[in-house]
Structure formats: structure tokens, C-alpha cells
């Protein structure tokens, strides 16, 4: 609900077309009565009411209530900020514990990797030495018989292993299909 300039007791005359001033001043302006213009009136307070009370004047009760409300709001915001700060502190402590755990795991993993690297280096050196010795044995003419003998022994061991693996769960009785005493009685 907007207030017209006439109700406010405006000292200004309404603007004339094309920005020209009115030739005849309003009656109140001619009488010398000057009141607030429509731009000086708080229309929001007139429509919805003021937080300081119903009138345009500030009343002490409304002002006291507004200050109390602002203090309660400020206290609630401070408590909320303290809660958030505490949560942030807890998150930082948890993150610190996790990073320390990661650091310990990384140091353990690094020592394991260094040990494995040393073991692989030693194994590589051993294999290189064995390969060199095998090349030396293979190049000697008298050693060729030794190579054939080693190959035969390896083949024999593989055959024995496969035979044992195939018949592992079976006994002599189950292989022949008859009880062991039957062979002796015949």
C-alpha cells in the first residue's frame, strides 16, 4: 500500500510533462507546510509492520527485543562455529594418524623392496656363474659324455616322479586288482 504524495503532505508538485516545472504550486506548498515525501516514508514498514513496533517511531520494547534476538542469534552462530571447529580438529587428528600409518607402511615396504633387490641381485649373479660353468663344461670334448649322463639322470628322475604322482593314492593291492596274499598262494 503505497502512500500518495498528497497524503504525505509533499512540498513538491508532481512533475510536469517534458520536465517543465509546474506553473501553479500546490496549496500546501504555497501555505508553507512541508511534510515527508513518498521517498522519505518507509513503505515496507507501513505494509508489513516494523520490527520496532507498529508506529514509525522506535519504541524501547521493540528495540530491546531486537537486541536480544541479535544476541541470541550471535550466540547460536558462535556455538555452531565452535562445533565446526571441533569437527575440523577431529578430522585433522584423524588425518594425522592416517598419514603416520601410511608413512610406517611406506618405510616397511621400502625395506622389503631393498631386501628383495639384494636377493635378486645375488640370484642373478649365481645364475650367471652357473651359466658360465655350463658353457665351459659343454665346450670340453670329454665333458660331452658327462652332459649326456646328466640329461639321462634328469629324465629318469622326471619319469619316477610322474609314476609316483599318478599312483600316489593307490596301494599295491589296488594296482593288481587282487589282494597281496593271492600272489603268494598261487
pTM of this structure: 0.37
User: What is the tens place of the pLDDT at every residue in 1-30?
Assistant: 455 555 555 444 444 444 444 444 455 444
Q: Which cell goes with 26?
A: 500546490
pLDDT at 23: 44
40-49, 61-70, 78-87, 164-173 — most confident range: 78-87
The domain spans of the chain are 1-49, 55-118
Lowest mean pLDDT across 20-29, 63-72, 115-124, 175-184: 20-29
User: What is the tens place of the pLDDT at every residue in 75-107?
Assistant: 999 999 999 999 999 999 999 999 999 999 999
**Other Cβ atoms closer than 10 A to 10:** 22
Task: Give the contacts of 34 (CB within 8 A, at least 6 positions apart).
Answer: 9, 11, 28
Task: Give the contacts of 135 (CB within 8 A, at least 6 positions apart).
Answer: none
d(CA 93, CA 87): 10
Residue closest to 22 by CA, chosen among 13, 30, 31: 13
Let me know: does 137 contact 147? Beta carbons within 8 Å: yes
d(CA 28, CA 40): 18
User: What is the tens place of the pLDDT at every residue in 123-176?
Assistant: 999 999 988 887 877 777 676 677 788 889 999 999 998 888 887 756 555 555
Question: Among residues of the chain, what percentage have pLDDT more than 70?
Answer: 58
Lowest mean pLDDT across 35-49, 108-122, 133-147: 35-49
Inform me whether the pLDDT recorded for 32 exceeds 60. no
More confident residue, 41 or 97: 97
Amino acid at each position: 500500500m503505497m502512500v500518495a504524495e498528497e497524503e504525505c503532505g509533499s512540498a513538491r508538485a508532481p512533475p510536469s510533462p517534458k520536465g517543465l516545472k509546474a506553473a501553479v504550486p500546490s496549496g500546501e506548498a504555497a501555505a508553507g507546510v512541508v511534510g515527508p515525501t513518498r521517498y522519505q516514508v518507509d513503505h515496507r514498514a507501513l505494509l508489513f509492520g516494523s520490527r520496532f513496533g507498529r508506529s514509525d517511531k522506535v519504541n524501547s520494547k521493540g528495540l530491546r527485543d531486537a537486541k536480544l534476538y541479535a544476541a541470541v542469534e550471535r550466540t547460536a552462530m558462535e556455538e555452531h562455529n565452535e562445533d565446526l571447529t571441533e569437527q575440523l580438529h577431529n578430522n585433522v587428528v584423524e588425518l594425522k594418524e592416517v598419514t603416520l600409518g601410511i608413512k610406517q607402511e611406506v618405510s616397511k615396504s621400502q625395506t622389503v623392496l631393498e631386501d628383495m633387490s639384494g636377493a635378486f641381485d645375488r640370484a642373478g649373479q649365481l645364475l650367471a656363474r652357473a651359466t658360465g660353468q655350463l658353457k665351459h663344461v659343454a665346450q670340453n670334448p670329454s665333458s660331452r659324455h658327462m652332459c649326456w649322463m646328466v640329461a639321462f639322470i634328469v629324465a629318469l628322475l622326471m619319469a619316477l616322479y610322474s609314476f609316483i604322482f599318478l599312483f600316489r593314492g593307490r596301494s599295491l593291492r589296488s594296482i593288481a586288482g587282487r589282494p597281496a596274499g593271492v600272489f603268494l598262494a598261487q
